[in-house]
């Protein structure tokens, strides 16, 4: 086992009241891929900041290897003193770091580097910060919600980039699919303590449930032991009182342990207040279009949305998802075509920018619209304090200004308000941002069990797969041109249908090429048969391709070893380069063989 390059031991931190961290540990070794998980407010970001040296723990030990480099993804980057994004990113490089990495990363993150840092949107600023921390390839890379504001193609690119990175990773993310693909270990923060599992996130939920079940059994055993000791205290032999004072003290300790036990944080108890039933046809769009200047955002597009549908909108940033969503819900007029909304619609909207929040509002005022301390939920009067507890807020937070809430708490607050209002059409624009895994589970259950209609925009592949009945995506995701296509099923279903359509297209192109070759004028006699060199290649290429496929499989098996980079970084890099070269060679051979086979069929036909 390699020595740790970062170690946090018995970390404690409290802001008054219940400790946020109460003996948490974190150990990072070269090559680790650790995801930090836990409920909103469990201290994940705080522990990461302590590890990065940005926050001081009240007690505990922090060890950082003197020669190791650490980069932490800032939530609010400081661009002061930088005239371009390129300059901001290059300032994060160390001696000997490759400046080309900055250009490479910015290009894949959708930035040119010449942007004015002070005019970036929130998403662009986050991308710039991501490029800055990744460019130096540090020993430890700490990423807090790196996929926020990234579109699906960029998230998938980031997964590949992190998988081949030499840096040890510590990640916080709500994106299940992302964590499953990148992580090899999980550190779970729960009630101030940390627990570690040396498996990827795909195994986390089953492990967590086992831990909580074992804890419940132990607590039950402790309760039974206290009952037995209390029985002895009441009915034991009083003449032995002096000798059994120690046993009495132990009973008091058991009682204190039992009373002091903090159970797992409660689950949110919520359901949507559903309004009256809408008409069967909710939205009918006929050949709608939208352009801004010369750029077409929506080419003629038609759609019928029926009651009970759950439709997902996906696509790269800037493709026009929000524009299309606003047109479908009547908030934006199309340039041409018609939009008809159904009858009895009661719409509830979650906006990705959280623009509905006034930072000066208190939680109580926001939930009740300033109408006292009660609200109507599913036709029942509820006191706001009790309703807040359903969403894991404490009664004393009633008068707390919204500006004091974390991002996850704000997301929960908006969900609480939306769910209290009668609706039959839910519009969710990036609803998963800042939600913890458990709240995401709840949202999935709500959407899946909602009797009305749902239209949502999301980059969360797992969330889409679990909820939507159809997916709308750009016809050309690499270069959106305004054409949109509706696919049956979720994100995985959409990708499978796209692959099938691509294979059909390639097959049609091959058939067309064959037909054109067959109808072409006959070749001169000298070209009426394959040359010796062509025959030799046609016969031997399959054997060579088979050998290369075995070489690729052998190297892929070596790369699958999670400890390879730790044991031999040079071998890891060499095998990765060999693998890339072999794949390129195999592709070239396949193309050469296909051309020769088509020529043979033409000559023999």
Q: What residue numbers does the annotated binding site for ATP cover?
A: 38-45, 315-322
Closest to 47 measured CA to CA, from 76, 20, 67: 20
Which value, in Å, is the radius of gyration of the alpha carbons in the chain? 30
Q: What is the DSSP letter of 118?
A: G
The number of beta carbons lying within 10 Å of the beta carbon of residue 120 is 19
What is d(CA 590, CA 263) in angstroms, rounded to the nearest whole number? 60
CA distances from 424 to 45, 211, 375, 400, 441 (A): 37, 39, 19, 31, 21
What is d(CA 56, CA 50) in angstroms, rounded to the nearest whole number? 6
Provide the annotated binding site: 38-45, 315-322
SS3 74: coil
| Token output for 203 | 């195994």
What is d(CA 285, CA 476) in angstroms, rounded to the nearest whole number? 21
Give residue 322's Cα distance to chain centre.
20
Q: What is the 3-state secondary structure (H, E, C) of 120-181?
A: CCHHHHHHHHHHHHHCCCCCEEEEECCCCCCCHHHHHHHHHHHHCCCCEEEEECCCHHHHHH
Query: Which H or E run contains 484?
Result: strand 484-488
Closest to 21 measured CA to CA, from 55, 52, 70, 65: 55
CB 1 within 8 A of CB 46: no
What is d(CA 441, CA 38) in angstroms, rounded to the nearest whole number? 13
The DSSP bridge pattern shows strands 425-429 and 453-457 to be parallel
| Token output for 475 | 């016809």
Measured between its terminal Cα atoms, the distance across the chain in Å is 64
Could you tell me where the DSSP H helices lie in 399-531? 407-420, 437-449, 461-467, 491-519
Closest to 266 measured CA to CA, from 385, 394, 444: 394
The number of beta carbons lying within 10 Å of the beta carbon of residue 454 is 22
What is d(CA 429, CA 434) in angstroms, rounded to the nearest whole number? 13
Query: What contacts 24+ positions apart, CB below 8 Å, involve 521-524?
Result: 523/603
* Tokens 């510590």, residue located: 170
Q: List the Cα angle 100/106/111 in 5-degree steps.
A: 140
Give residue 51's Cα distance to chain centre.
22
The number of beta carbons lying within 10 Å of the beta carbon of residue 130 is 26
Could you tell me where the DSSP H helices lie in 236-349? 245-260, 321-328
* Tokens 């195994």, residue located: 203
SS3 424: coil
The DSSP bridge pattern shows strands 140-144 and 168-172 to be parallel
Q: List the Cα angle 456/310/358 in 5-degree steps.
A: 30
Query: Which H or E run contains 6?
Result: strand 6-13
* Tokens 């003629």, residue located: 300
């Amino acid at each position: 086992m390699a020595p740790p390059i970062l170690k946090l031991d018995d970390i404690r931190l409290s802001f008054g009241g219940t400790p946020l961290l109460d003996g948490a540990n974190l150990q990072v070794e070269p090559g680790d891929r650790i995801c930090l998980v836990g409920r909103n407010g469990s201290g994940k970001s705080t522990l990461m900041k302590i590890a990065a040296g940005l926050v001081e723990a009240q007690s505990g030990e922090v060890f950082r290897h003197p020669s190791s480099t650490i980069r932490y993804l800032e939530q609010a980057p400081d661009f002061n003193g930088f005239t371009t994004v390129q300059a901001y990113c290059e300032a994060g490089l160390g001696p000997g770091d490759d400046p080309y990495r900055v250009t490479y990363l910015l290009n894949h993150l959708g930035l040119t580097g010449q942007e004015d840092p002070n005019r970036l949107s929130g998403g662009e600023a986050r991308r710039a910060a991501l490029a800055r921390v990744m460019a130096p390839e540090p020993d430890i890379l700490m990423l807090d919600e790196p996929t926020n504001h990234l579109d699906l193609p960029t998230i998938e690119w980031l997964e590949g980039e992190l998988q081949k990175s030499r840096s040890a990773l510590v990640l916080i993310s709500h994106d299940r699919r992302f964590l499953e693909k990148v992580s090899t270990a999980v550190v779970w923060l729960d009630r101030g303590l940390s627990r570690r599992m040396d498996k990827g996130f795909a195994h986390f939920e089953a492990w967590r449930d086992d831990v909580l079940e074992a804890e419940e059994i132990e607590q039950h055993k402790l309760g039974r032991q206290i009952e037995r000791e209390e029985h002895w205290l009441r009915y034991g032999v009083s003449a032995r009182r002096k000798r059994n004072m120690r046993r009495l003290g132990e009973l008091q300790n058991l009682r204190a342990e039992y009373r002091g036990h903090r159970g797992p944080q409660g689950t949110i108890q919520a359901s949507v207040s559903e309004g009256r039933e809408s008409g069967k046809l909710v939205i009918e769009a006929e050949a709608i279009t939208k352009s801004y200047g010369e750029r077409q955002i929506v080419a003629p597009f038609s759609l019928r949305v029926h009651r009970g549908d759950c439709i997902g909108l996906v696509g790269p940033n800037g493709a026009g998802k929000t524009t299309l969503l606003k047109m479908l819900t009547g908030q934006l007029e199309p340039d041409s075509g018609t939009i008809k909304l159904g009858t009895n619609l009661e719409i509830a909207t979650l906006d990705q920018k959280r623009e509905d929040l006034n930072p000066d509002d208190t939680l109580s005022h926001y939930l009740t619209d300033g109408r006292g301390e009660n609200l109507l939920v599913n036709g029942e009067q509820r006191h706001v304090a009790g309703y807040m507890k359903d969403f894991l807020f404490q009664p004393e937070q009633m008068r707390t200004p919204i500006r004091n809430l974390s991002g996850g708490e704000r997301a929960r607050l908006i969900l609480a308000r939306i769910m209290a209002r009668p609706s039959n059409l839910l519009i969710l624009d990036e609803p998963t941002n800042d939600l913890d895994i458990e709240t995401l589970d709840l949202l999935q259950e709500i959407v899946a069990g909602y009797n009305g209609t749902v239209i949502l925009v999301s980059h969360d592949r797992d969330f889409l797969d679990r909820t939507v009945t159809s997916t709308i995506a750009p016809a050309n995701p690499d270069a959106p041109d305004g054409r949109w296509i509706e696919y049956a099923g979720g994100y995985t279903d959409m990708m499978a249908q796209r692959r099938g359509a691509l294979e059909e297209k390639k097959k049609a192109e091959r058939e067309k090429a064959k037909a054109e070759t067959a109808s072409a004028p006959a070749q001169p006699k000298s070209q009426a048969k394959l040359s010796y060199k062509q025959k030799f290649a046609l016969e031997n290429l399959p054997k060579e391709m088979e050998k290369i496929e075995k070489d690729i499989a052998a190297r892929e098996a070596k790369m699958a070893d999670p400890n390879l980079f730790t044991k031999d970084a040079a071998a890891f890099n060499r095998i990765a380069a060999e693998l890339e070269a072999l794949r390129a060679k195999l592709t070239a051979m396949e193309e050469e063989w296909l051309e020769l086979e088509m020529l043979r069929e033409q000559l023999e036909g």
